[in-house]
Amino acid sequence: MSQTQVNSICPFCGVGCGMGLVVNDGCINAVKPLSKHPISQGKLCAKGWNTPFGISKHNRITQPLMKKEGVFEVIGWQEALTYIAQNLQKCIRESGSQSVGVISSARATNEDNYAAQKFARAVLKTNNIDHCARICHSPSVVGLKQTLGSGAMTNSIDDVAKADVILIIGADSTENHAIIGGHIMQAKLRGAKLIVVDPRQTRLAQIADLHLQLNIGSNIALLNGLLNIIFQHNWQNDDFLARRCEGTDALKKHVADYPLDKVAELTGIEGQKLVEAAKLYSQANAAFLAYGIGITQFISGTNNVIAVSNLALVCGQIGREGTGVNPLRGQNNVQGACDMGSLPNVYPDYQSAADKKVREKFSHAWNTTVAQAPGLTSLGMSNQARNGKFRGLIICGEDPIVTDPDRNKVEASMRAMDLLVVVELFMTETAKMADIVLPAASFAEKDGTFTNCERRVQLIHKAIEPPGEAKADWQILSEIAKKMGLGGLMNWQTSEQIFDEMAQLTSSFSGMTYSLLAKKNGIQWPCNAEHPKGSRWLHTTTFPIGKGKLIPVDHVPTNEQPDAYYPFWFTTTRLHYHYGCGSMTRQSPLLERETPNGLLYIHPQDALDLGLKNHQAVTVSSRRGYLETRIVLSNELVPGLLSMPYHFKEAPSNMLTNDAMDPTTEMPELKVCAVNIVPLPKNQSPCPSSISTDIEDWVIQ
Ligand code: SF4
């Protein structure tokens, strides 16, 4: 039996570890870490090691499916494409281009995402294009663009090794970005000081020099309080502020309204700890600040990011090795999906869709007239569907039924549409609701590029053939365009042709080619005439907007507070062993063995007060819905705060979560809502909220 190895990139989180796919007899039956990879350096986390299960041919969707009377029947590609094209055209004819849209995938390649936004803008003539960054880091994209001029990680992952202070806010790195979590633990071992800001006692919080266990939702109060302490003690970096920033006086005056006692009350953290943290961070030679969705998934998400940026700018902890403002992106290519313009407001490389010159540039380049009207976000499309104004949607590789807030509303939106097309590997909860399901090729079955959270664009290579009739997203969208009579717009033969087209239309990628990427372990954007070797650090001498902007922001309470009916705070988390909606990681029996499905974590004191025992079955309810599960006692939480991972369709936390939105980005407040719990009657087991995802249970062969 012949065995080969094809080098690629892990398809799970945004760290972007290098892995060799071991191919035997047309199947991937093992992976090997790549010792020379600049980030992973010969390591993979549990998810990475289990990659072969996530794309195995067992249970994959292999042919186009059409739903007829509640069950799916296999149909041919031509029938599926004709049906989709005709129904999209019908929606556009009857209700205009704003009635249709595309949700692209942060799991898919840059080339797939470029094709998705081009399909929306040039073929459907709409800016209704979005993806799951909406519900993870859209506030980073917008907030950091305002303050620094670029919404991406400013530094590189290996800067962790150069920092003498590491500040982690709202990120559980050992669970969600395990290889970065490992780098942070190593930095701590060599003597770096570690500060963790988190309402939960995460694994990093347990080894931190300072754990600021703030009240959930009090991020801005805490950050403004730290800034006030820094100004009061004259710990700010005056030279950096004078040369590189504007708005210092206004910010200083603003944060004076956050004295120690007020901040201690809002955050629940004693004043002395706040002073210690302010001193450590501001006085460090190099302080690396990283944050996650514990900052962004709030109605104040954009302002939370701005507050983080204010702190780094005031202390001059940016633009140098070992420093920076570093959003830890969730999915393997969520950075790339944003970069490629799979967002309603920007074209590739963040060129504004509202700018007439940009629209003219792309109209000219694509030889068509592009969409003119502002686009809808994914949640905007969902809301308009319930109003009857949004009628046709193509979803590539996302599962909003499991991941978006307020599941009952999401299901109502999907049911209200005339046409729902889902392009997927497996029969997800969202795919089950589709009119047409199309078989997608996995990352190991196509060529392309992924961009990790440090802006590193890395090649992936086709190692095996896609199962059955599965195709890459860009091929599927090109074929729909052809059926709509616009095939000339997307007439690519290879993913490299797509990359080259994208590079010609952008500045940050204009110096990149597949052959250059192949010679290195990826290149960090911007890579162009000014930065021919790419960019390890952003903002070293100037910001794209000239000076860094200090923007005063205020603490706002979360949308929901506990009350007599819903007396507990509730937050969502992620687990080391699973990823996103679990559609890939839950194919692995090894990962499934590690974690029972969807448990509710509760502080022992709360359990005692309610007379609950470990593993007791309970009902959890919020103003939007309820679910049944079992409790686990955990000292990671404080009394009054409950938590639940969101990977599990059997206990979907989005039955509970709140869709109240950040007004700037429409980011829903997924991180916090108010709930109640009551025990289920004795001997009653929790009723799982979902049923089989086995393909044979859904398809008439
Ligand atoms: Fe994959 Fe992320 Fe784990 Fe690396 S840290 S192996 S990229 S899941």
Q: What is the pLDDT of residues 314-344, one digit of tens each?
A: 999 999 999 999 999 878 999 999 999 999 9
Report the atom number in ligand 1 closest to the C-alpha of 9.
7
pLDDT class for 591, splitting at 50, 70, 90? confident
Q: Which protein residue has the closest C-alpha to ligand 1 atom 3?
A: 45
Contact 598, 572 (CB under 8 A): no
- Please return the burial class of 411, using the count of CB atoms within 10 Å of its CB with bins 0-12, 13-18 and 19+: middle
Q: Which has more confidence, 405 or 445?
A: 445
**The pLDDT of residue 576:** 74
Is the C-alpha dihedral spanning 149, 544, 229, 169 positive or negative? Answer: positive
**The pLDDT of residue 579:** 73
CA of 177 to the centre of ligand 1 (A): 6
Which alpha helices (DSSP H) does 346-466 contain, by range? 356-366, 378-386, 400-403, 407-416, 429-432
CA distances from 215 to 22, 411, 638, 676 (A): 47, 32, 9, 19
Whether residue 691 is predicted with pLDDT greater than 60 in this model: the reply is: no
Residue to probe by mutation, ligand 1, list 9, 21, 47, 172, most atoms within 8 Å of CB: 47
Q: In this structure, is residue 642 part of a structural domain?
A: yes
Q: In this structure, is residue 535 part of a structural domain?
A: no
Q: In this structure, is residue 563 part of a structural domain?
A: no
Report the atom number in ligand 1 closest to the C-alpha of 46.
3
- Please return the burial class of 367, using the count of CB atoms within 10 Å of its CB with bins 0-12, 13-18 and 19+: exposed
Of 171-185, 235-249, 572-586, the one with minimum mean pLDDT is 572-586
Residue type, 239: D
Report the atom number in ligand 1 closest to the C-alpha of 49.
6
Residue to probe by mutation, ligand 1, list 179, 331, 334, most atoms within 8 Å of CB: 179
| C-alpha angle 112-481-484 in degrees, rounded to nearest 5 | 160
Q: In this structure, is residue 38 part of a structural domain?
A: yes
Contact 628, 648 (CB under 8 A): no
Q: Which has more confidence, 689 or 26?
A: 26
Dist CA 469 CA 438 (whole Å): 9
- Report the mean per-residue pLDDT for the chain: 92
Could you please report the per-residue DSSP string of 33-96?
A: E-TT-TTTTT---HHHHTHHHHT-STT---S-EEEETTEEEE--HHHHHHHHHHHHHHHHHHH-
Q: In this structure, is residue 423 part of a structural domain?
A: yes
Contact 291, 169 (CB under 8 A): yes
pLDDT class for 685, splitting at 50, 70, 90? confident
- Checking DSSP bridges between strand 129-130 and strand 641-645, what pairing results, if any? unpaired
- CATH assignment at residue 26: 2.20.25.90
Report the atom number in ligand 1 closest to the C-alpha of 179.
5
Question: Which of 13, 28, 54 finishes a domain?
Answer: 54
Write phi, then psi, for 263 (nearest 5 degrees): -70, -40
Q: What is the pLDDT of residues 132-168, one digit of tens each?
A: 877 777 888 899 999 999 889 999 999 999 999 999 9
Whether residue 641 is predicted with pLDDT greater than 50 in this model: the reply is: yes
Residue to probe by mutation, ligand 1, list 8, 19, 40, 443, most atoms within 8 Å of CB: 40
CA of 31 to the centre of ligand 1 (A): 12
Of 70-74, 365-369, 454-458, 666-670, the one with minimum mean pLDDT is 666-670
Whether residue 672 is predicted with pLDDT greater than 50 in this model: the reply is: yes
Q: Buried (b) or exposed (e) across 506-516, using 16+ Cβ within 10 A?
A: bbbbbbbbbeb
CA of 44 to the centre of ligand 1 (A): 6
Write phi, then psi, for 343 (nearest 5 degrees): -140, 145
Nearest to 122 by CA among 340, 372, 348: 372
CA of 267 to the centre of ligand 1 (A): 33
CA of 550 to the centre of ligand 1 (A): 34
Same domain, 310 and 353: no
- Checking DSSP bridges between strand 456-460 and strand 448-451, what pairing results, if any? antiparallel
Residue to probe by mutation, ligand 1, list 12, 172, 183, most atoms within 8 Å of CB: 12
CA of 590 to the centre of ligand 1 (A): 16
Report the atom number in ligand 1 closest to the C-alpha of 44.
6
Percent of the chain scoring above 90 in pLDDT: 79
Dist CA 352 CA 329 (whole Å): 22
Contact 607, 546 (CB under 8 A): no
Report the atom number in ligand 1 closest to the C-alpha of 11.
1
CA of 677 to the centre of ligand 1 (A): 34
**The pLDDT of residue 336:** 96
Question: Rounded to a whole number, what is the largest CA-CA distance in the chain?
Answer: 73
Whether residue 285 is predicted with pLDDT greater than 50 in this model: the reply is: yes
Nearest to 55 by CA among 370, 462, 353: 462
**The pLDDT of residue 583:** 66
Q: Which residues line ligand 1 (CB under 6 A)?
A: 10, 12-13, 15-17, 40, 44-45, 47-48, 177-179
Report the atom number in ligand 1 closest to the C-alpha of 180.
5
User: How long a stretch of residues is the chain?
Assistant: 701
Same domain, 46 and 75: no
Q: What residues does 456 pair with on adjacent strands?
A: 524
Q: Which has more confidence, 407 or 74?
A: 74
Structure tokens at 141: 């994209």
Question: Which of 486, 515, 549 finishes a domain?
Answer: 549
Report the atom number in ligand 1 closest to the C-alpha of 43.
6
CA of 466 to the centre of ligand 1 (A): 23
Structure tokens at 576: 């080391």
Whether residue 385 is predicted with pLDDT greater than 80 in this model: the reply is: yes
Dist CA 71 CA 435 (whole Å): 10
**The pLDDT of residue 700:** 53
Residue to probe by mutation, ligand 1, list 37, 177, 331, most atoms within 8 Å of CB: 177
pLDDT class for 242, splitting at 50, 70, 90? very high
- CATH assignment at residue 415: 3.40.50.740
Same domain, 235 and 303: yes
CA of 663 to the centre of ligand 1 (A): 32
Report the atom number in ligand 1 closest to the C-alpha of 39.
4
CA of 331 to the centre of ligand 1 (A): 10
Report the atom number in ligand 1 closest to the C-alpha of 48.
6
Report the atom number in ligand 1 closest to the C-alpha of 19.
6
Beta strands in 520-625 (DSSP E): 523-524, 548-549, 568-573, 600-602, 617-621
* pLDDT (average), residues 601-608: 96
Dist CA 639 CA 641 (whole Å): 6
Q: In this structure, is residue 695 part of a structural domain?
A: no
How many Å is the Cα radius of gyration of the chain?
Answer: 24
Q: Buried (b) or exposed (e) across 48-61, using 16+ Cβ within 10 A?
A: bbbbbbbbbeeebb
**The pLDDT of residue 670:** 87
CA of 14 to the centre of ligand 1 (A): 7
Same domain, 35 and 71: no
SS3 state of residue 224 = helix
CA of 89 to the centre of ligand 1 (A): 41
Whether residue 275 is predicted with pLDDT greater than 50 in this model: the reply is: yes
Dist CA 593 CA 70 (whole Å): 32
Dist CA 679 CA 616 (whole Å): 7
Same domain, 95 and 159: no
Q: Count the neighbouring beta carbons within 10 Å of the beta carbon of residue 678.
A: 11
Same domain, 300 and 421: no
Same domain, 16 and 122: no
Same domain, 255 and 298: yes
CA of 43 to the centre of ligand 1 (A): 9
Cis check: omega of the bond before 526, within 30 degrees of 0: yes
Report the atom number in ligand 1 closest to the C-alpha of 579.
8
* pLDDT (average), residues 541-554: 96
**The pLDDT of residue 692:** 45
- CATH assignment at residue 297: 3.40.228.10
Same domain, 239 and 378: no
Residue to probe by mutation, ligand 1, list 15, 184, 335, 591, most atoms within 8 Å of CB: 15
Report the atom number in ligand 1 closest to the C-alpha of 13.
2
Nearest to 491 by CA among 131, 118, 130, 124: 118
Q: Which has more confidence, 368 or 684?
A: 368
Contact 468, 392 (CB under 8 A): no
Percent of the chain scoring above 70 in pLDDT: 97
Q: What total of structural domains would you count in the chain?
A: 4
CA of 157 to the centre of ligand 1 (A): 13
Rounded to the nearest 5 percent, the helix, strand and coil shares of the chain are 35, 20, 45
Q: Which protein residue has the closest C-alpha to ligand 1 atom 2?
A: 13
Same domain, 245 and 285: yes
SS3 state of residue 67 = strand
CA of 232 to the centre of ligand 1 (A): 42
Dist CA 182 CA 241 (whole Å): 33
Q: In this structure, is residue 346 part of a structural domain?
A: yes
CA of 332 to the centre of ligand 1 (A): 8
Same domain, 379 and 295: no
Same domain, 337 and 315: no
CA of 15 to the centre of ligand 1 (A): 6
Q: Which has more confidence, 481 or 134?
A: 481
Integer distance in angstroms from the first to the last C-alpha of the chain? Answer: 32
- Checking DSSP bridges between strand 65-68 and strand 436-439, what pairing results, if any? antiparallel
Domain extent at residue 669: 568-688
**The pLDDT of residue 687:** 67
- CATH assignment at residue 664: 2.40.40.20
Whether residue 696 is predicted with pLDDT greater than 70 in this model: the reply is: no
Q: In this structure, is residue 679 part of a structural domain?
A: yes
Which of the given ranges, 288-292, 577-581, 662-666, has the highest pLDDT on average? 288-292
Nearest to 136 by CA among 581, 557, 668: 668
Note the Cα 220 to chain centre separation in Å. Answer: 22
Q: Which protein residue has the closest C-alpha to ligand 1 atom 4?
A: 17
Residue type, 182: G
CA of 455 to the centre of ligand 1 (A): 16
Nearest to 103 by CA among 371, 348, 351, 379: 379
**The pLDDT of residue 86:** 98
